[in-house]
Amino acid sequence: MHEVLAEFEQLRNLGMLYTKEHAYKANEQTYPQIIKAMCLHVAHDCNLRCKYCFASTGKFKGERMLMQMDVAKAALDLLIARSGTRKNLEVDLFGGEPLLNFAAVEGIVSYGRQLEKQYGKVIRFTITTNALDLTAERMSYLNKEMHNVVLSLDGRKSVHDELRPTASGSGSFEKILPNILAFVAMRGEKEYYVRGTFTNRNLDFTQDVKFLSELCIKQISLEPVVLPTSSPYAIRTEHISTVLEEYDRLSEFVLKSRNAGKWFNFFHFMLDLENGPCLHKRIIGCGAGTEYVAVTPDGDIYPCHQFADEPGFKMGNVLTADFNDSLQQTFNECNIRTKEECKACWAKYFCSGGCAANAWKSNHNINLPDKTACIFERKRTECALGINVLEKLNSNKV
């Protein structure tokens, strides 16, 4: 792996890896932007009390509440109205914990299916759940109706229980793991992810990925926590070198496992060099605030789920049908061609400028990426490239 990365570095220094920059502008698209994806905050409440939760254990910066169907229907109506000629749309059911409002989940999907027939659209529903209330009946429903399901688990029991206790303060691992394993077995080849978060408490996070893979979980994501440096769980400057070394260990474990016939996918090492995103998508990234918005239980619209209840970022309300086009344009202009820190970065077309919400939390500027996040992104991209090349060499495709 280290030899492959050294070769990449040499080619990059010689100017042999990249073509000359094209004077393409991400905001050349027709304005106003269409909206093709929406995150519905079905519940601003949760049955866990995760110690690193960016959403203040589900309530964000407001009160604990559940989304009512009048709000949900108005949100989907807005999505249809602003989707233009776009046929394929996405709706993510989020929280808090959306299973606390399962009746709304069912109602939203039912109404969405009506809109599909009425307007000739295709709505791909996804859900993110901690799996605590994932009964057999709900598993069957989600397996049938959801295009993708994200299940939250941080890895080993000691790691998970320290940071993801229930509302009563007890560990949640023993309650959650059987539900996740049952759903994964039911899911088969359909899309899902078991997603975790690592903090400075488990900088040996390869062990958590190993634990999950040994449970026959094939789709795994483990994200670095995003917290103020004052937090006892934050990843700070003194932890960076350890994290980078751990990504190397993880990439070696991924290769070793696959070579042994124990294939699994690690989300941040997933890189398709032949059929990846188009240039426009690489420039604008996730589309937060432009093609993608989030709606809270009271109908307020925000650029994405991480901006919910954030002062200055409310884009409107689905019940009043008002929408802040100027704020949408602000996010449209937030891309790798406008971010100075991105212009000279070799990895910019892989990360698309990083997360605007993380940039805001770190620097109070959506156009100024978080430095630590950039370091980690470049490292993960290096590892992904190395894995990609070594696998092609091993299969005689190069």
Task: Indicate whether 18 pLDDT > 70.
Answer: no
Q: Take residue 377 and report the two structure tokens written for it.
A: 């992104």
Could you tell me if 171 and 184 lie in one domain? yes
Q: How confident is the model at residue 21 (pLDDT cuts 50, 70, 90)?
A: low
| DSSP state, residue 269 | G
Which of 290, 318, 334 terminates a domain? The answer is 334
Residue 248: phi and psi, rounded to 5, are -60, -45
Distance CA 255, CA 240 (A): 23
Distance CA 271, CA 338 (A): 25
Could you tell me if 291 and 387 lie in one domain? no
Over range 125-133, report the average pLDDT.
Answer: 98
Residue 106, C-beta contacts closer than 8 angstroms, at least 6 positions apart: 141
CB 48 within 8 A of CB 165: yes
Could you tell me if 322 and 340 lie in one domain? no
Terminus-to-terminus CA distance in the chain, angstroms?
A: 16
Structural domain includes residue 193: yes
Cα-atom radius of gyration of the chain, to the nearest Å? 21
Distance CA 310, CA 275 (A): 36
Which of 2-16, 148-162, 317-331 is least confident? 2-16
Which of 283, 308, 334 terminates a domain? The answer is 334
Distance CA 156, CA 208 (A): 6
Could you tell me if 339 and 295 lie in one domain? no
Could you tell me if 347 and 294 lie in one domain? no
Share of the chain above pLDDT 90, in %: 77
Structural domain includes residue 263: yes
Which of 25-29, 283-287, 331-335 is least confident? 25-29
Could you tell me if 78 and 187 lie in one domain? yes
Tens of pLDDT, residue by residue over 316-360, are 999 998 899 999 999 998 988 889 999 899 989 888 889 999 999
Q: Take residue 336 and report the two structure tokens written for it.
A: 């790798």
Could you tell me if 144 and 123 lie in one domain? yes
Could you tell me if 143 and 231 lie in one domain? yes
Could you tell me if 229 and 270 lie in one domain? yes
Which pLDDT belongs to residue 184?
A: 98
Which of 241-255, 256-270, 279-293 is least confident? 279-293
Residue 65 maps to which CATH number?
3.20.20.70
CB 57 within 8 A of CB 46: yes
- Among 346, 45, 260, which Cα is nearest to 167's? 45
Could you tell me if 183 and 273 lie in one domain? yes
Could you tell me if 273 and 349 lie in one domain? no
Distance CA 335, CA 284 (A): 5
Q: How confident is the model at residue 394 (pLDDT cuts 50, 70, 90)?
A: confident
Distance CA 210, CA 190 (A): 22
- Domain count within the chain: 2
Structural domain includes residue 272: yes
Give the SS3 label for residue 64.
Answer: coil
Residues of the domain holding 64: 32-334
Structural domain includes residue 247: yes
Distances in Å between the Cα of 196 and the Cα atoms of 137, 153, 193, 272 are 25, 5, 10, 23
Could you tell me if 301 and 318 lie in one domain? yes
| DSSP state, residue 21 | P
Distance CA 76, CA 125 (A): 12
Give the SS3 label for residue 351.
Answer: helix
Distance CA 296, CA 318 (A): 10
Over range 121-144, report the average pLDDT.
Answer: 99
Which of 283, 302, 334 terminates a domain? The answer is 334
Tens of pLDDT, residue by residue over 161-187, are 999 999 999 999 999 999 999 999 999
DSSP 199-252: -TT-S-THHHHHHHHTTT--EEEEEE----TTSTT---GGGHHHHHHHHHHHHH
Structural domain includes residue 4: no
Share of the chain above pLDDT 70, in %: 92
Which helix (H) or strand (E) covers residue 266, if one does? strand 265-266
The strand pairing partners of 91, in sequence order, are: 38, 125
